[in-house]
Structure 1
């Protein structure tokens, strides 16, 4: 059974969690490279892009509309649980299968120690790291930048050590909430990433508040105004040119001031009772799946 998850041109914390969580929680040798059976893990990975003939076992994944909607009634899908109620509704499955994003299973694992030097941190979406200058904005705001492309252990240690996490990256909020670090949600500059937040939050009965970010570059400003993603051709080239240096510095300064304002907002956390409940349900779903596989072997 092969583990499948999104891999782009750079590592991304939310997706790379798959390599951290599943080998730790599943029996040794449970995962291999046999593509006839797929273990569909953490992330917005449900879609019609997965091999049509492969058997697909879904463990806390979500549907975000990045890919086409799959036919889950074609006999190849075995959905044990999904990220949230929006995914369950879209797929037309039992709402009881809406447990939570499976990154919550970090709560059942040994984790790296907290990095107590972090204090207040900001975690941009990994795409924003390429499109803006969030390292400089965080420096100006006297915050720690948490890099979503850094090693998973580094990010986990920083999130655990943070007094407060402001995050544009959804899995920053998911992991912070699971590990009981207060968080403030930042509305992703690219609008295509918004809906999946509501899916995850719905599973935890959290009325998530997504606060607008200020762009740090001409490119981010363009994305926020137009809703377009990608590298954006001429705009992307202009953003890297000397002509954009002055407006980019001004935008970065404004963004830094706005981060400081955001840090004064009321942070969020799901209830202790709810986080324990969904952790137990997710763990039970995984354990039940493993037992069913062992019994069938």
Structure 2
């Protein structure tokens, strides 16, 4: 059974969690390279891009509209649980299968030592890192930048150690919530990433608040105004040119001031009993799946 998850040009924390969580929780040798059976794990990876001939086992994944909507009733899907009620409703499956994003299973694992030096941190979406100057914005704001493309162990250590996490990356919020680090949601500058937050938070009965970010570059300003998130041609080239140095610097300063203001907002956490409940339900679903596979082996 082959583990499948999204991999782009750079590693992304939420997706790379698959390589941290599943080898730790599944029996040794459970996952292999047999693509006739697919283990569909953490991320918004439910879609019609997956091999229609393969048997697909879904363990806490979500549907966010990045790919076409699959027919999960065609006999090739075995859905053990999904990220949230929006995914369940969109797929037309039992609402009871809406448990939580499977990254919550970090609560059932040994974790790296927390980094106590972090203080207040900001974690942008990995795409945002290359579109703006958030490293400088964080320096100006007196915050730690958590880079979603860094190794998973480092990011986990930083999230655990943070006094407060402001996060545009959804899995920053998911992991912070699971590990009980207070967090403040930042509405992704690119609008295509918004609705999946409400899928996850719906599973936790959490009224998530997404607060707007200020763009830190001309390119991000353009994206925020137009909603475009793909190839950005002339605007991207201009934003990286010497001509844009001054407006970029001004925008970065404004973004830093806005981060400082965001840090004074009321942070969020799901209820303690609810996070315990969904962790237990997710763990039970994984254990039941492993037992079912052993029974037919």
Q: Considering the TM-score relative to the shorter chain, is it more than 0.5? A: yes
Cα distance in 1 between the residues matched to 2:173 and 2:266: 14
Corresponding position of 1:90: 90
Q: CA RMSD in A?
A: 0.4
**What is residue 154 of structure 1 aligned with on the other side?**
154
> How far does the alpha carbon of each residue in 1:202-227 deviate from its partner, in whole angstroms, 9 at most, with x for none?
00010000000000000000000000
Is 1:199 matched with 2:203? no
Unpaired stretches in structure 1, ≥5 consecutive residues: none
SS at match of 2:130: helix
Q: Show the counterpart of 1:180.
A: 180
Question: Which residue of structure 1 aligns with residue 51 of structure 2?
Answer: 51
Query: How many Å apart are 1:231 and its aligned residue?
Result: 3.3
Instruction: Quote the offset at 1:230 in angstroms.
Output: 1.7
- d(CA) in 1 for partners of 2:237, 2:73: 45
Runs of 4+ residues deviating >4 angstroms: none
Deviations 1:178-211 (A, max 9, x none): 0000000000000000000000000001000000
| CA–CA distance in structure 1, aligned partners of residues 167 and 148 of structure 2 | 10
The separation in 1 between residues aligned to 2:113 and 2:275, in whole angstroms, is: 21
d(CA) in 2 for partners of 1:20 and 1:213?
A: 30
Offset of residue 50 of structure 1: 0.3
Give unpaired runs (5+ residues) of structure 2. Answer: none
Per the alignment, residue 252 of structure 1 pairs with: 252
Work out the number of aligned pairs and report it.
297
Per-residue CA deviation, residues 253-276 of structure 1 (Å, 9 max, x unaligned), is 000000000000000000000000
> What does residue 63 of structure 1 align with?
63
Superposition pairs of residues 256-295 of structure 1, within 5 angstroms = 256-295=256-295
Query: 1: CA distance between counterparts of 2:258 and 2:159?
Result: 21
Taking the aligned partners of 1:124 and 1:130, their CA distance within structure 2 comes to: 10
State the match for 2:9 in structure 1. Answer: 9
Alpha-carbon distance in structure 1 between the residues aligned to 2:238 and 2:255: 20
For the residues of structure 1 that align with 2:257 and 2:212, how far apart are their CA atoms? 13
Equivalent runs, 1:28-177 vs 2, <5 Å: 28-177=28-177
- SS for the counterpart of 1:175 is helix
Cα distance in structure 2, aligned partners of 1:158 and 1:26? 25
| Matched residue SS, 2:18 | helix
Give the superposition deviation at 1:73.
1.0
Q: Partners in 2 of 1:274 and 1:105 — Cα distance?
A: 14
